[in-house]
Amino acid sequence: MATELASRAMPAAQVGQPGAARAEGSIGSGIVMREVVKNYGAFRAADRISLDIRPGEFITLLGPSGSGKTTLLNLLAGFQKLDGGEMHVDNAPIDHVPTHRRGFGMVFQSYALFPNMTVTQNVAFPLRMAGVDRESAQRRVGETLEMMRLSEHAAKTPSQMSGGQQQRVAIARAIVRRPKIVLMDEPLSALDRRLRESIQIEIRALHRTIGSTILFVTHDQGEALTMSDRIAVMDAGRIVQIGTPTDIYRHPQNRFVASFVGESNLIEAEIVQRRGATMALRNRAGYVFEADAGHGIEVGRAAVLVRPERIAIAGSPGPNTMPVTVTSALFLGEVLRIEARTESGETLLIRCMDTAGRSLPDVGERLHVSWGAADCWVLS
């Protein structure tokens, strides 16, 4: 079984031309996790996690540190043993397959390039371990380096390269075998913002080219939203929500997801009345507003999520507006970031585009804000 897995992970010389569209037939593996448990002493790092990953999917594990995302990745890579549950790749259990025969590619947070080898030797290493002969290995390394725009650095050692270049070498080493699964453990966290953004785009394009299933771990919600097909948000050893980026951002299941992904205003309100597709709510200051009826909450208290960019500033008081007092106003370039206090003492965060005719409000200024029913998302 083990050798079968390895050979499956090694499609015979299936190398797409650099920049070509997705290579035919080199679709990634599906991964199934069932009730996965991992304990570190008394600490439960993975608490009965179940996750289905579709072949060729780009899935991100997102969560704060200690939420269990790296643990899950290490379990899948085989660096650690499961304490319970099972993991399957393409319907075959992998518990007893040692890491080096799982045939995955992996990118590490610290890059983990072999300092005693040149770039070429680093990237050739997985091929040579897989039994590819020197000439073929040379050719495929050349193609991969070309694809990662590293050809001119082929003879350098890792210590002679910048962080961004090293990271691209690490990615090249992970994908050179065209593995069906690539694991990425916070690969961009050591890079500065601009570099991070450009490599994000690169990885995304690479995913389309090679078609592998990519499991990406990050604590950066922006990164997760930008890159993923789906995001699994983790907290305290569990997956608290899984969905597409828009789904996660617009329709978080609970307060943790709402506040961890993106900036958010959570407004405490009481459900006044429900009519069909919308409901009316009243916040503590007594203002009544409408919201799309969420998932079956009928009466009682609720938290309403309003994203800062969904709050509109009205020039004058109207039927559906709420008066607020500005406590801070910052000009961030393309957007204005305003913090304001409602009459009941809650703080609202507002982001609006820097459009012609809009000026930065003064601290202490009174504004009138409003939002539509479709801009709210009612949490339990």
d(CA 95, CA 80): 10
Q: CB count, 10 Å around CB of 221?
A: 21
Residues 68-87 that bind another protein (CB under 8 A): 77-79
128 is a site residue for another protein (CB under 8 A): yes
331 is a site residue for another protein (CB under 8 A): no
Give me the torsion for CA of 210, 104, 160, 140, rounded to 10°: -50
d(CA 246, CA 200): 18
188 is a site residue for another protein (CB under 8 A): no
Nearest to 95 by CA among 75, 110, 114, 66: 75
11 is a site residue for another protein (CB under 8 A): no
Taking the complex as a whole, how short is the minimal distance between the CB of residue 29 and another protein, in angstroms? 15
d(CA 147, CA 321): 54
Which two structure tokens, joined as six digits, stand for 9?
């992970």
Residue closer to another protein, measured from CB, 159 or 355: 159
190 is a site residue for another protein (CB under 8 A): no
Binding another protein (rule: CB under 8 A), the pick from 121, 151, 244, 370 is 121
d(CA 107, CA 164): 13
160 is a site residue for another protein (CB under 8 A): yes
Binding another protein (rule: CB under 8 A), the pick from 29, 60, 120, 165 is 120
183 is a site residue for another protein (CB under 8 A): yes
Q: How many residues bind another protein (CB under 8 A)?
A: 42
d(CA 211, CA 14): 12
Strand boundaries in 95-221, DSSP class E = 105-107, 181-185, 213-218
What mask, x for binding another protein by CB under 8 A, covers residues 94 to 113? Answer: ----xxxx-xxxx-xxxxxx
Q: What is the DSSP letter of 78?
A: T
Residue closer to another protein, measured from CB, 36 or 97: 97
Taking the complex as a whole, how short is the minimal distance between the CB of residue 171 and another protein, in angstroms? 12
368 is a site residue for another protein (CB under 8 A): no
118 is a site residue for another protein (CB under 8 A): yes
Taking the complex as a whole, how short is the minimal distance between the CB of residue 211 and another protein, in angstroms? 19
Residues 137, 145 contacting (CB under 8 angstroms): no
The alpha carbon dihedral of 268, 274, 280, 286 has a sign of negative
Radius of gyration of the chain from its Cα atoms, rounded to whole angstroms: 25
For the purposes of burial, counting CB atoms within 10 Å of the CB of 58, is it exposed (0-12), middle (13-18) or buried (19 or more)?
buried
189 is a site residue for another protein (CB under 8 A): no
Taking the complex as a whole, how short is the minimal distance between the CB of residue 77 and another protein, in angstroms? 6
Residue closer to another protein, measured from CB, 159 or 359: 159
> Which residues of this protein are in contact with another protein, per CB under 8 A?
6, 77-79, 98-101, 103-106, 108-116, 118, 120-121, 125-126, 128-131, 133-134, 154-157, 159-160, 173-174, 177, 183
